[in-house]
Every structure is written in structure tokens, then in C-alpha cells.
Amino acid sequence: MGTRHVAIDTQLGPVTIVAKGEAIAGLYFRHHIRRPPQEAFGPEVGDVADPLLEEAVRQLGDYLAGRRRRFDLPLAAEGDAFQHAVWDIVKSIQCGDTTTYGRIAEQVGGRALAQRVGQAVGANPLCIFVPCHRVVAADGSLTGYAGGLKRKQALLEMEEPPADDAGRLF
């Protein structure tokens, strides 16, 4: 199958999920920074008409409802080797945790790469599925998120375990 997409409404606003072949290639908000042109998403299909998109919609819904903490989807983001190295690290950040651009830079070659790491994180076409909202500034403040800082804050708050469930594994 070629490129196709499904558009859904979520509590974070409208979301478009893009599939290419047998993998998910994008998740975009309506006013997403670096959102490709609509024609790049291929035809719109109903999620029930496409098993891969149906599963992506189901897993995203479960995550947003607090019933899922990680995704099990085939992902295929387009990017260069450096971006993929950064995104692989971002994928490993556990739900409820955060890291900094500087820590990721240290893992990919040195703190001097922090700005380049920030650019790679910002270019992530699979936000939420590759949880770039879990990357924060060195002082813990929220910086840059392609879906907007309000969404980043909402996602991080949603991932915090309730006070009485701290330490419980899902």
C-alpha cells in the first residue's frame, strides 16, 4: 500500500496519522510546526478500512485515555542518520520520565551538539509515538514542541502517575 492517512479528533485537538506501506510515517496536529503539505499524506481512508491505521488510532486512544504507556507500532520516519540516532534515544524515554537536549547530545557525540539535537527533536514526524514531548531544557523548563507548548504540558501531566499509584507498574 502507498501513502495514506486518517484524521481523528482527540482531546488534544485534531490529529492526522500517516502511513506509508506497512509502517506509520507521521503523526501531526492541525497547526503542527513543520507539517508537510496535505497532499503529501496521500488519500484519506477510514481507520477501519486500513488495519495499520486502525491499530494506530486504537493505541493512540488508549494512550490518551491512560490505558497505554508505550506503543507497539511499526514506525518509519524519514530523516538522516543523526536524526534517527536522536529519535532512537527519544523512543527509549519511559512514560513519566524526561531527559534534556544536553543529555541526548552527550549520547550522540558531545554537549556541543545540543542545538543540533534540538533541531532533530523538532523535526520528529512521529510526535507522541516517538515521545519528543519528554525532552526538556536543562533547567527542566518546557521548550519547543511542534504541537505547541500547551500540548507538551498536557502530555507530560497526563503521564504523571497519580500520587496514590506512584511506583505501580502498568
Place of cell 509515538: 129
- What is the Cα–Cα distance from 53 to 125, expressed in whole angstroms? 16
Beta carbons of 28 and 16 less than 8 angstroms apart: yes
- What is the Cα–Cα distance from 142 to 41, expressed in whole angstroms? 29
**Alpha helix (H) residue ranges in 1-42:** none
127 carries an active-site annotation:
no
The pairing of beta strand 135-136 with beta strand 99-100: parallel
Amino acid at 35: R
Q: Which of 60, 120, 132, 156 is catalytic?
A: 132
List, by residue number, the catalytic residues: 132
